[in-house]
Amino acid sequence: MSREGSTIYGWAFVAGQEVIRKLEGLYGRDRAEKKMESMLLTLRSELIPERFRRAIIDFLIEVGPHVGIPEEVKVERRWSVDEFYRYSTAILAGFFDALNAWRGGKGTGKEGEGGEAGGR
């Protein structure tokens, strides 16, 4: 993965951790998990780069975690197809890994269901 991709992934992982903690405080453990999963599915379904970015920003505004937004996401510049796939993959992976790390730390009772594989 490129340096930009790993920077985006790192941001998404940290932002995902903040988001899930904030959701847990607002809604409780079960609803927080469902909200985060719903957000991931929404992001994954966005096939247009501008809508993908808008969905991320809207969700961050809704939840209100104290995380910055990287320039690649914040700046209103059209992404090339390669950039879209690279950035969206890094962001989705970071959010998903943050959710899985949170699940592992919470002892949700799913440890015996392949929780240690981490989906990779």
pLDDT in single tens digits along all 120 residues of the chain: 445 555 899 999 999 999 999 999 999 999 999 999 999 999 999 989 989 999 998 888 888 777 888 888 888 788 898 999 999 999 999 999 999 999 987 644 444 344 434 443
C-alpha to C-alpha distance for 82 and 41, rounded to whole angstroms: 21
- pTM: predicted TM-score of the whole model, two decimal places: 0.78
C-alpha to C-alpha distance for 64 and 58, rounded to whole angstroms: 10
C-alpha to C-alpha distance for 31 and 58, rounded to whole angstroms: 19
Cβ atoms of residues 97 and 118 within 8 Å: yes
Kindly list the domain boundaries of the chain, sorted by start residue: 3-103
Cβ atoms of residues 49 and 84 within 8 Å: yes
**Token code pair at residue 118:** 């981490």
Quote the distance between the C-alpha of residue 22 and its chain's center. 13
